[in-house]
Structure 1
């Protein structure tokens, strides 16, 4: 029989296995090598670009595979501050995340200049990873960056899912919703995409800069109304959505013939890697709902209910799933959706008086849960008492969206640092 600490270590190691499965450098090297075998003889004058939280390793992998004589110029990398580092062969620019900022605006303008100058002899390799949507702010001319930031802030605080957020972003941007294809034509584009969107809809990942968009300006307005923030967003945003001149790139646009998109990693692949790790460790895998996409607290409660129906045995069993939950901000505390999930699971497990000795882990594969330095949280049956001994009552902390401080008090934060990848979240419950 494993001790509680051994179960915690097992869950953490399974989470690390999930992160490793989404290693962007390995993924891009594998896919690019195959692509070069098929297309390389006909490809030259390559313009390498990588954007998002995994942009650094994606560019490193790209430059390790593509022969230097095929490159037209140095690479361009746009990533967030936590993952920033200088690399040979590329210019690395920093952009804000999760909210866009002025540095991102400057970086995106540089990208626009590069792709707009491309000719029909050029081939753009465009590597995309999670976070790229926020890191590529290029508001339409009538919208200021401040207005776009305010709109994004309102969407995130309202509990809108990533697909809804990106639908609105597309219609306030010059490059999202296929805008990169419009700007780069007549150059060819091959895009390699590391998915942070559940279901891997390519038009939603990073708001689909190289993918056709079937949503409309009316859809964007409807989303703002659905989440009751239409009257709160800036007037310039309402004006644009209400009287659009040109729609985003649609599936019948002939410029799409110049573009190829390849998916190179996803949440489902990482969930499978965590399951494989646990299975090889002798853990019984139990059927678990996938994906988790609702409110973090509600999804945690539902998972506790699933566990409560499982008979207790001496066998260590696991429920493994993933997804991207949301949080309704009703307090002013510090935390993220994974920390909120782990804390809510703990509280409801106590309320339900689960008969199991349990461990619950919820973590973001990028190593950054919300605006914090933690990847998420890992709680167990003793976490409550550890919090109370540090005078942190988890009930009001959860109500104040202050999961970070509660989990910090009980030493239940997961601290991986920036991982260089992002394929949404992983949840692991051991019983």
Structure 2
């Protein structure tokens, strides 16, 4: 099997994975509309009130387009916030698409959140609110609580992203600094019916964490959020308004989030329509159809990107010594990066960093390759979706005068892959179901 065949197969794997979690198709498959009754699985709505569409996330544009194709002029109004450059070429008539900043919130997102609050509060008992939720919504729909300002939320976001905390902990804190998250979006929609269609970008797909749990009960507490901030030594670095608000919450001076005991939850239905496992299945089916043996690691990939990369690289080297046929190693999840030591010019992301650490472990090992892919097309501060590494990557980098170890130390992995022509440059995919890790041994 030559390099050209492996390159072509790699392109097929990436394209197949992205197509399998296409948001338009996911929405179309999830809903059924007969002009009087809207169904989503066992859930049904046959009201005569308004249909209001609200949403946020990187997959918002294709989700909105699919919904318009189903409901058409039955939609009374709609507003969906997407990341910059994520509107696509969709020509929508009933739902407005607005761009905002991600991963740090901005004024555009704040304005959109305020409009969402107004429309939610105006919803009546016979109305239906449809929420289109996908990865990135936490940043794209900021509604700071108490005396917090947008600048305070921006500072908090930067601290959380740099400390290396997993998204579960990050969103637990975000929920307790926001007026919409942690089930408060659903509370504001009452007494209307609420249908939330969710594309999961969190390992294991916990609805309480995806988009900071806009439409589901919140089991976490202010005390848990405070404890996480203490764990990472962030308390003294927080804006005073955030510290004060969390302390008020721990004393019970501000209301706790809806916990599921409220009777109005009977009006709310939330369902996941796309997730990482769907992309993994599509990859496995493609590989097996082309004669590859598949080792499917069901354990989600989590932890520090460099550690995971080294472990996976070592595993592929071991496989290369024992497999008797072309073999594909497959896993999904999301790693983290602690940005200590980063320099202003550094560009990278968890997938590029994972791939570089894997390349060091693969150095000199023939007929091995690893694809580390962010399914949304964006990997950290880089414009790439990740990288493709093999046993020759490190030698090639050193011939160009690059120092892979130094690049990892300062989190500048993207510039190594760009120089090698091995960065995965596919642009925004308009979907987002975490990361994929694909190892090839032949």
Quick check: TM above 0.5?
yes
Separation in 2 of the partners of 1:43 and 1:227? 50
Return the TM-score normalized by structure 2. Answer: 0.93
SS for the counterpart of 2:236 is coil
Separation in 2 of the partners of 1:421 and 1:143? 31
1:36 corresponds to 2:42: no
The within-5 A match list for 1:371-382 is 371-382=381-392
Q: Which residue of 2 aligns with 1:367?
A: 377
Greater relative contact order structure (CA < 8 Å, 6+ sep): 1
Q: Which residue of 2 aligns with 1:53?
A: 58
Provide, for residues 367-391 of structure 1, a one-character-per-residue CA deviation record: whole Å limited to 9, x for no partner. 0111221111011122223323332
Separation in 2 of the partners of 1:109 and 1:177? 17
Q: Which residue of 1 aligns with 2:110?
A: 105
Provide, for residues 219-263 of structure 1, a one-character-per-residue CA deviation record: whole Å limited to 9, x for no partner. 000111112212211121111111111111112122212110011
SS for the counterpart of 2:8 is helix
Please, which moves more after superposition, 26-35 or 198-207?
Answer: 26-35
Q: Which residue of 1 aligns with 2:329?
A: 319
Contact 1:50 1:58 in 2 (8 A): no
Separation in 1 of the partners of 2:174 and 2:4? 44
SS for the counterpart of 2:370 is strand
Gaps of 5+ in 1: none
Contact 2:371 2:387 in 1 (8 A): yes
Q: How many residues align structurally?
A: 425
Q: RMSD of the alignment, in Å? A: 1.6
Q: Which residue of 1 aligns with 2:318?
A: 309
Please, which moves more after superposition, 224-233 or 35-44?
Answer: 35-44
Q: Which residue of 1 aligns with 2:290?
A: 281
Q: Which residue of 1 aligns with 2:355?
A: 342
Contact 2:86 2:99 in 1 (8 A): no
Q: What is the CA-CA distance between 1:8 and the residue it aligns to?
A: 3.1
Which among 265, 269, 272 is matched to residue 256 of structure 1? Answer: 265
1:81 corresponds to 2:84: yes
Return the TM-score normalized by structure 1. Answer: 0.95
Q: What is the CA-CA distance between 1:401 and the residue it aligns to?
A: 0.2
Q: Which residue of 2 aligns with 1:170?
A: 175
Gaps of 5+ in 2: none
SS for the counterpart of 2:237 is coil
Contact 1:11 1:428 in 2 (8 A): no
Contact 1:43 1:123 in 2 (8 A): no
Contact 1:49 1:76 in 2 (8 A): yes
Separation in 1 of the partners of 2:229 and 2:248? 15
Q: Which residue of 1 aligns with 2:98?
A: 93
Separation in 1 of the partners of 2:314 and 2:44? 51
The within-5 A match list for 1:27-426 is 27-33=26-32, 36-37=38-39, 39-42=44-47, 44-68=49-73, 70-71=74-75, 73-85=76-88, 87-244=92-249, 245-288=254-297, 290-310=299-319, 311-313=321-323, 315-330=325-340, 331-332=342-343, 333-350=346-363, 354=365, 356-426=366-436
Please, which moves more after superposition, 86-95 or 23-32?
Answer: 86-95
Separation in 1 of the partners of 2:110 and 2:296? 45
Separation in 2 of the partners of 1:77 and 1:122? 18
Separation in 2 of the partners of 1:409 and 1:341? 17
Please, which moves more after superposition, 300-309 or 91-100?
Answer: 300-309
Contact 1:14 1:275 in 2 (8 A): no
Contact 1:285 1:319 in 2 (8 A): yes
Contact 2:85 2:99 in 1 (8 A): no
Separation in 1 of the partners of 2:104 and 2:407? 25
Separation in 2 of the partners of 1:242 and 1:49? 31
